[in-house]
Amino acid sequence: MPELPEVNTVMKGFRKTALHLSIRNVIVHDDKILRNATATEFYDKLIGRSFVDTYRRGKYFFALLDDSAAVLFHLGMTGDLVYYFNGEDRPKYERFNLHFEGGLMLGYDDLRKFSKILLLDDYREFLEDIKLGPDALQISFGAFSKAFSATTRNVKSILMDQHLMAGIGNLYADEICFQARIHPASIGKALSTTDLHKLHQATLNILKEACRRDAYYKVYPEDWFWKWRDDKIKILDGKGNIGKMKIGGRTTYYVEDYQKLIT
Q: How far is CA 243 from CA 151, 202, 234, 240, 255, in A?
A: 25, 20, 9, 9, 6
Work out the pLDDT band at 226, boundaries 50, 70, 90: confident
pLDDT score at 235: 54
Helix (H, G, I), strand (E, B) or coil at 128: helix
Strands 242-247 and 105-110: unpaired
* Statement: residue 233 has pLDDT above 60: no
Q: What is the pLDDT of residue 29?
A: 97
Predicted confidence (pLDDT) at residue 246 exceeds the cutoff of 80: yes
Per-residue pLDDT tens digits for 178-205: 999 999 999 999 999 999 999 999 999 9
* Helix, coil or strand: residue 253: strand
pLDDT surpassing 80 at residue 1: no
The full set of domains in the chain, from first to last, is 4-130 (3.20.190.10), 141-255 (1.10.8.50)
Q: Please tell me whether residue 207 adopts helix, strand or coil conformation.
A: helix
* Mean pLDDT confidence for 102-117: 96
Q: What is the pLDDT of residues 129-184, one digit of tens each?
A: 999 999 999 999 999 999 999 999 999 999 999 999 999 999 999 999 999 999 99
Query: Distance (Å, rounded) from C-alpha 171 to C-alpha 173?
Result: 5
* Mean of the per-residue pLDDT values of the chain: 95
Which residues fall within 8 angstroms of residue 222, CB to CB, at 6 or more apart?
none
Answer for the pair 188, 177: CB distance below 8 angstroms, yes or no. Answer: no
